Amino acid sequence: MSRGVIAVYPGTFDPITLGHEDIVRRSSRLFDQVIIAVAVAHHKKTLFTLDERLELARDTAGRYDNVSVEPFEGLVRDFVVARGGRAMVRGVRGVVDFDYESQLAGMNRNLAPDVETVFLTPAATLQSISSTLIREISQLGGDVAPYVAPLVLERLLAKRSRA
């Protein structure tokens, strides 16, 4: 039985934001199956552990029948190919993101010619959101409720109270 076109949406998701969710929602309408691939991210110091980031991503994925969540480490290309993916979804907020993401897409095309990179922009009201800004604003006591799901907000507030 064919599973249709599989797309992978990779990232650190530290934390997952409503901007990410907007990309997930729209990807779920474009592809038969979407895998949110949460990077182990050995190269980054993350606020949330891998298990916490997986839980928060699964909370988002649970809203969509054709979206699942898996961890990955190493080259995303290897993960996509191993899952039978035909597309890699990348969110692009502006020209700086596009410049970086187009370089990655070119390299990924060299590494995995059968996998297409699809760029999606979040809704205009969500384009200024980044996980980095969400972490910083939250840690400094700012209100990030308009930018994250309730469970993410709860976890951010818990991290802030322990800091």
> Among all residues, which ones are annotated catalytic?
20, 44, 93, 131
Long-range contacts of 138-144 (CB under 8 A, 24+ apart): 139/47, 139/163
Q: Helix (H, G, I), strand (E, B), or coil: what is residue 90?
A: strand
Q: Which pair of structure tokens corresponds to residue 84?
A: 């039978």
Residue 17: Cβ-neighbour burial (10 angstroms; 0-12, 13-18, 19+): buried
Q: Which pair of structure tokens corresponds to residue 96?
A: 């700086």
- Sign of the torsion angle spanned by Cα atoms 104, 21, 35, 45: positive
Strand duo 87-91 + 116-120: pairing: parallel
E strands, the chain, are 6-11, 33-39, 67-72, 87-91, 116-120
